[in-house]
Amino acid sequence: MMPDGGADARAGQLSELKLIRHEMLCSGEMSDLLAQAEEAAADHLNDWQRTNLARMRRAWRHATALPADLVEALSRAACDCEMKWRSARINNDFKALEPGLDELLQLSREAGGAKGALMGCTPYDALLDQFDSGATVAAIDILFGELEDFLPGFLAEVLEYQAGQPSLVVPTGSFPLEAQRKIALGLMADIGFDFAHGRLDVSHHPFSGGVPEDARITTRYSQAEFLQGLMAVLHETGHAMYERGLPREWRLQPVGRARGMIAHESQSLIVEMQACRSREFTSYLAPKLAIEFGDSPALRADNLVRLFQHVERDLIRVHANEITYPLHVMLRYRLEQALISGDLRVRDLPGAWNDGMRTLLGITPPSDADGCMQDVHWAAGLFGYFPTYTLGALAAAQFFAAAKQRRTDILPSISKGNFKPLMQWLNDSVHQHGSRFSCDELLLQSSGAPLGTAAFKAHLHARYLPD
């Protein structure tokens, strides 16, 4: 809701707050207190407290790696660059974004190098660790390698299969924004979102933020097309439900926060992709759409599920299907590694992006707005974030398979708009544990295996190449 003219003031406020936080974390007193607590940990702390202390030490390590002036410069550059991105994307003007992005990249490289030196890892691994502790290129490359061996061939099979099916009926017309919002709010309530502790608004890019007691969700609507805005709401509601389900007694402590972005993305994708693109959900959704938009063949359950599960070579990541989405992430993963290492210059990013799209997806963006400027992440300084989307998709498939095995009422309940069995399982298995366990440990406890690709591949086979 902030007017464009408020950006400079807001950047200053955020930079000042980050600087104060940084100085508190890096004080000599904080170092002494952590050391004293670690000495007493073995004899006097329980598992929750020990993990809490370890998360504090991790935050301290990330903070002390950076000088205060770099923290302030990074914050200001990220705020400035994001505002430049907004106008540059609208105007398809990469040259307008380039100087700000180049400055932000240089600062991010400096931060990654400083953190890597302290943590004994590469600069990019240090940036990955900011979003999910313990994430490394070595581990991600194994999983992404398995997906790259599988996805292109599978994509070709699915495209061939769907070409032999009856033509889709695409919803057309004008879909009033207020009706879209009404449907979205109703589905959020069905999932269990508490509107006494959160709200839904509109922004340039869908997101979920805030705190557990005040969960803020945004989406963007189009009067000509309603499915993208709706699915964005469902995705962000999954994020918000995770935040709302975190352990109340540890809520203001590091161990009481979400485990990391892999776990976080898994919770959003369980809602959006696993549950809300299922046949059960579409049978529940169709009558609601008919009430608001009128009855039509395009909005009936049998056509809706085909719309939700339609596969094509998408240009835009946020609109991509489950099969092509990981390929979008792999492109960004490779490019941001090259940017951080210095092997790729910002001015060469559009060309490298287009080459990668041709290689991985067989398509070329018609513009930089639909190419390397389509996402806000790099303009916001979030180098190292992108891999968590696909790692989260793998975890979502694994969690959801385990949930359905243990709660056979999950899908039948969703067909009636009842998400309680699913949310109860997720709360018991993921949400209530906060940061006490790693994502691999959560997966081991619930599914019997650490993060892998098998459940994701099985899910794709069952959904997109039915017998």
Structure token pair of residue 30: 């904080």
State how far the alpha carbon of 68 is from the alpha carbons of 116, 122, 127, 384, in Å: 17, 22, 18, 22
Angle formed by the axes of helices 420-429 and 439-447, nearest 10°: 120
Are 323 and 154 spatial neighbours (Cβ–Cβ below 8 Å)? Answer: yes
Q: Is position 236 annotated as part of the catalytic site?
A: yes
Structure token pair of residue 279: 């046949």
Classified as helix, coil or strand, 209 is strand
Structure token pair of residue 193: 């979102």
53 residue type, one letter? L
- Catalytic, out of 72, 82, 236, 243: 236
CA distance 246 to 259: 10
Question: Is 30 exposed, middle or buried, given 0-12, 13-18 or 19+ CB atoms closer than 10 A?
Answer: middle
Query: Measured at the alpha carbon of residue 54, what is the angle toward residues 51 and 59, in degrees to the nearest 5?
Result: 130
Largest pairwise CA distance in the chain: 69
Classified as helix, coil or strand, 343 is coil
Give me the half-sphere count of Cα atoms (radius 13 Å) on the Cβ side of residue 163: 7
CA distance 450 to 467: 29
CA distance 340 to 342: 5
Q: Which residue has the tokens 């918000």?
A: 240
CA distance 276 to 235: 9
73 residue type, one letter? A
**Which of the 8 DSSP states describes residue 166?**
P
415-418 contacts: CB < 8 A, separation 24 or more? Answer: 415/280, 415/281, 415/283, 415/284, 416/284, 417/190, 417/284, 418/190
Are 392 and 135 spatial neighbours (Cβ–Cβ below 8 Å)? Answer: no
Are 255 and 244 spatial neighbours (Cβ–Cβ below 8 Å)? Answer: no
Give me the half-sphere count of Cα atoms (radius 13 Å) on the Cβ side of residue 181: 12
Would you please indicate which residues are annotated as catalytic (active-site) residues?
Answer: 236
